[in-house]
Structure 1
């Protein structure tokens, strides 16, 4: 009887303790203005853009030319051209990714992911749903306190015309 009880407890423990931190969560059912099939996105985007924007990959730190962009202008989604961030809200976070303390109103949407085993706030393009990066609470305290950590490959920079 003790042996049977032990087996029951062991099986119950194994079954009930199944972790799900690394499981893929179903994609949001949110509808976006721009919606294309995976093959259509693959045709329009570079391989790096596709990996980040459509598969939620992360580019290597310090690899983006957008880290050094100066002057007035707007960062737009590389997939659909939606306005995301103004350069005046960009700051050097030292992380190796373009960082902003706020987005253009209505430019981005938020979700969450737990791919690393803990919950993170994910940033998407509000127009096409493309993955941009994540937002953290370690930004400049004198402004919003937020750090939008964005993959440079997910954006293009449009300088302001003089």
Structure 2
């Protein structure tokens, strides 16, 4: 059965600023990796039908087996839909020999004005069964915290 994971956070920045950080290479490299990881964007094409490839590396490889290699996750992200400044829809495919990480996960970043800020809701659908639900939601929450820090500092 297809699984959906969802996390929300209010960010003290306008929707346009948050949306901009979702589509800027340097920004994504800075805020997307969850706590305990660093990321590197290898390819970048921010348009519908475009996308990017990100290499995520665990800072402490002990007890952190990667999906792609020891302590490394590689994911190809396609931009399926871009609706400024309301929504970014991504299709994520992990590079892995493990069939429990196979398939295409859809990540929808929905932005809604919330007072002086923006409520960002990330909905992941068709999450591969190899990804632990609690760890995934914790990772998304961490990325959202980094996004908040990134755009709130810039605002």
Which TM class, normalised by the smaller chain length?
under 0.3
Larger Rg: 1
Higher relative contact order (CA 8 A, sep 6+): 2
More strand as a share of residues: 2
